[in-house]
């Protein structure tokens, strides 16, 4: 691991870069999985008084606007050279965090549809700016061989905090906690971008030059990945599938009290702690796999684990519907643990993948496409679909069956595609003698 070498050599600026990146990304991801994904539904339904379908429409709009903003900002970053300008990126990020802070603080006082709409528009724009900017920091701060491990640490920290610390899933609770938690982040970023502390300025100078060494991602050798190439769009499509499956299933699971109260919202602390620990173990495993295998191996594992997880969920539901007398309050924890493992796997992959498919010249665009389309658009579209299905009275078993079918389809599809690609390659080699 390069990190150990930097510590031994006393390269403290680089070490600081690692810590800064991990802190920013973990905090940002925690904010998204709690406040944005869970808090927004509560805000729209409970405080504003909209129906679930109406909220789902607004969320789809949020997704689309975020995606468009991210792509515009990403392209602008690359064209204007901001992608390789650390100070500009930190200034942009500081602005995003300040806007998010205000939005978070005012969220519980929103009680009308126009105010909710305005909140969504401002939130989308700030999130759209935030994604390409934050992900592109990887080319300045994290050396390529360590990106898998760093991604694993970010995932571990974010999910451990989200699961181990008991919070009620309401916008008021999220708002209170996150406004307090964001203050240190704002202070640190303000100090960094102010350029008034000489030592920190020197550190930033040093970090600003690192993109020359760290800028070219793992999958950009020997030739960089082009934006209009299968090398970029295949992972985008696969990651879109992963996020879509996850969100489509999870949103329904958390609406089912018997499932969520025995796992993520369990009053028993050891249950939540077990889930949090499995997230950590899963992320570290994914980090090791990312570094030591081809990225497709990790995609295969993600789809296989998702398929297996939903097979277990649907099997339990089928048995319970066949033999209602067998249903007890002690729901098995195996399913949420497997779910947590899978989520950690793909989240780790997501953090490392986009910078590794980019160079310093393309990281803005590629991160925006990757995160905006695969992550953001997929999550919120599936959230909208999930809420729509629930509103259409589609049963839990049918809903999870659909998710399971999608996971199995992607798993089998990926295997067939990989095998087919290899087959064509071998056939061409045989032809050419």
Partner 1 sequence: MSLAETLPLLVLVLLLLAGSGVSPSSMEVVFEGDRVVDETPDAFVVAGGNVTVPADAVVQGQLFVIGGDTRIDGRVDGNVRVFAGTLSVSDTATITGELQAVAGNLSVAPGADIGRRTTVDVTRQERTPLATVGIVVMQMVLLGGVAAVLTRRIPHYLATVGDAITGHPVVSGVVGSIAGTTMLVVFVYMAFTLLLLPLSIVGLFVEVLLVGYGYLAYGYLLGQRLPVERDDVASALGVAGFLLCMELLGRVPYVGALIQLSLLLVGLGAVLITYFGVHRFEPPEIPG
CA 189/CA 370 separation, integer angstroms: 25
Q: Which of 250, 301 has the CB closer to partner 1?
A: 301
Binding pattern for the stretch 144-173 against partner 1, x by CB under 8 A and - elsewhere: xx----------------------------
For partner 1, the binding residue among 288, 412, 416, 423 (CB under 8 A) is: 288
Give 6-24 as a DSSP string: HHHHT-HHHHHHHHHHHHH
301, 310, 313, 411: which one binds partner 1 (CB under 8 A)? 301
The 212-251 contact track toward partner 1, x by CB under 8 A, reads -xx-x-x--x------------------------------
Quickly list DSSP for 120-156: HHHHHHHHHHHHHHHHHTHHHHS-GGGHHHHHHHHHH
Give the nearest distance from C-beta 409 to partner 1 in angstroms.
18
Q: In 97-255, which ranges are E strands?
A: none
* Cα dihedral across residues 294, 299, 305, 308: positive or negative: negative
Considering the rule CB under 8 A, would residue 194 count as an interface residue with partner 1? no
Q: Which of residues 199-218 bind partner 1 (CB under 8 A)?
A: 213-214, 216, 218
Which of 62, 308, 377, 402 forms a contact with partner 1 (CB under 8 A)? 308
Which 3 state secondary structure label does DSSP give 329? coil
Q: Are 1 and 14 in contact (CB under 8 A)?
A: no
Q: How many residues bind partner 1 (CB under 8 A)?
A: 35
Binding to partner 1 (CB under 8 A) within 119-148 occurs at 143-145
- Contact residues for 199 (Cβ-Cβ < 8 A; gap 6+): none
Residue 52 lies near partner 1 (rule: CB under 8 A) = no
Min separation Cβ 82 and partner 1, Å:
22
Stretch that binds partner 1, among 70-78, 157-165, 168-176, 306-314 (CB under 8 A): 306-314
Query: Contact 193/87 with Cβ under 8 angstroms?
Result: yes
Residue 160 or 313 having the CB closest to partner 1? 313
Options 305, 349, 353, 406; binder of partner 1; rule CB under 8 A: 305
Closest approach of partner 1 to the CB of residue 286, in Å? 9
With respect to partner 1, which residue has the nearer C-beta, 50 or 415? 415
CB of 125 to partner 1, least distance (A): 34
User: Which pairs count as long-range contacts for 22-28, CB under 8 Å and 24+ apart, including other chains?
Assistant: 22/150, 22/153, 22/154, 22/157, 23/185, 24/93, 24/134, 24/137, 24/185, 25/134, 25/154, 25/158, 25/351, 26/153, 26/154, 26/157, 26/158, 26/161, 27/158, 27/181, 27/182, 27/185, 28/130, 28/134
CB of residue 357 to partner 1, shortest distance in Å? 14
Q: Exposed, middle or buried: residue 251 (CB in 10 Å: 0-12, 13-18, 19+)?
A: buried
**Residues near partner 1 (CB under 8 A):** 143-145, 213-214, 216, 218, 221, 285, 288-289, 291-294, 301, 304-305, 308, 311-312, 315-316, 319-320, 323-328, 330, 332, 334, 338
């Amino acid at each position: 691991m390069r990190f150990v070498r930097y510590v031994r050599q006393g390269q403290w600026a680089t070490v600081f870069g690692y810590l800064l990146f991990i802190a920013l990304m973990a905090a940002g991801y925690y904010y998204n999985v709690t406040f944005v994904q869970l808090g927004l539904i509560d805000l729209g339904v409970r405080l504003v008084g909209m129906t679930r379908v109406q909220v789902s429409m607004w969320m789809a709009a949020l997704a689309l606007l975020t995606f468009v903003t991210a792509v515009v900002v990403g392209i602008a970053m690359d064209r204007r050279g901001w992608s390789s300008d650390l100070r500009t990126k930190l200034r942009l990020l500081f602005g995003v965090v300040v806007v998010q802070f205000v939005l978070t603080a005012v969220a519980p006082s929103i009680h009308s549809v126009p105010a909710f709409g305005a909140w969504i528009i401002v939130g989308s724009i700030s999130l759209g700016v935030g994604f390409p900017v934050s992900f592109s920091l990887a080319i300045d701060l994290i050396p390529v061989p360590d990106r898998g491990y760093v991604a694993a640490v970010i995932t571990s920290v974010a999910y451990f905090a989200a699961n181990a610390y008991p919070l009620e899933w309401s916008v008021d609770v999220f708002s209170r906690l996150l406004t307090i938690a964001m203050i240190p982040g704002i202070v640190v970023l303000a100090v960094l971008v102010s350029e008034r502390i000489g030592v920190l300025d020197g550190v930033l100078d040093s970090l600003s030059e690192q993109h020359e060494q760290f800028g070219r991602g793992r999958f950009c050798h020997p030739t960089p990945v082009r934006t209009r190439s299968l090398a970029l769009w295949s992972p985008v499509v696969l990651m879109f599938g992963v996020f879509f499956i996850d969100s489509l299933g999870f949103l329904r699971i958390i609406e089912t009290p018997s499932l969520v109260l025995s796992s993520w919202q369990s009053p028993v602390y050891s249950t939540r702690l077990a889930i949090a620990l499995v997230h950590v173990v899963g992320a570290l495993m994914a980090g090791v796999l990312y570094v030591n295998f081809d990225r497709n191996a990790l995609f295969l594992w993600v789809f296989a684990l998702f398929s297996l997880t939903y097979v277990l969920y649907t099997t339990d539901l089928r048995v319970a519907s066949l033999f209602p007398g067998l249903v007890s309050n002690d729901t098995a924890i195996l399913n949420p643990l497997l779910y947590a493992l899978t989520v950690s796997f793909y989240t780790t992959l997501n953090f490392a993948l986009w910078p590794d498919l980019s160079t310093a010249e393309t990281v803005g665009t590629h991160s925006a496409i990757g995160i905006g389309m695969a992550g953001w658009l997929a999550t919120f579209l599936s959230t909208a679909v999930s809420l729509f299905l629930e509103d259409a009275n589609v049963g839990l078993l049918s809903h999870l069956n659909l998710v399971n079918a999608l996971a199995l389809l992607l798993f089998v599809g990926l295997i067939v595609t990989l095998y087919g690609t290899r087959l064509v390659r071998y056939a061409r080699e045989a032809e050419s003698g």
